Amino acid sequence: MSELDDEMKGYVAIGEAVITHIYRNEKISQQSLMNMLTRDAEEESNDEKIVNIMSGRRILQSAQEVSQQINPKSAEHNSWGESDTPFLDTPAQHASSDKAKR
């Protein structure tokens, strides 16, 4: 299997985590995705699936490192370990947020 195939499987693992968040109506953030992938890897018994999940974690970690290099000031305030700033809110979360503003 090629390195590109392995990377694509990592993106699939990330996508599965995103879909699970949406299904559960949870906010999606870098940290929440990392947490879910960690949990999934710990609960998984299939070695190939674990490798795919860990590939997804590496992709997210690399994205964070690049983000910090590009904008170090922003990274200080939005580090994965300190913040859970959402990437994407589900429609139900937007509705509850709109009600809170009123």
Domain membership flag for residue 97: no
Secondary structure class of 25 (helix, strand, coil): coil
Query: Which positions ≥6 away from 78 have C-beta within 8 Å?
Result: 85
CB-hemisphere CA count at 13 Å for 44? 16
Domain membership flag for residue 101: no
Structural domain boundaries, residue 32: 3-87
The pLDDT value recorded for residue 79 is 45
> Which tens digit of pLDDT belongs to each residue from 84-93?
455 555 555 5
- The whole-model pTM stands at 0.68
Q: How many domains are there within the chain?
A: 1
pLDDT tier for residue 21 given thresholds of 50, 70 and 90: very high
Domain membership flag for residue 53: yes
> Which tens digit of pLDDT belongs to each residue from 42-89?
999 999 999 999 999 999 999 888 877 887 765 544 444 444 455 555
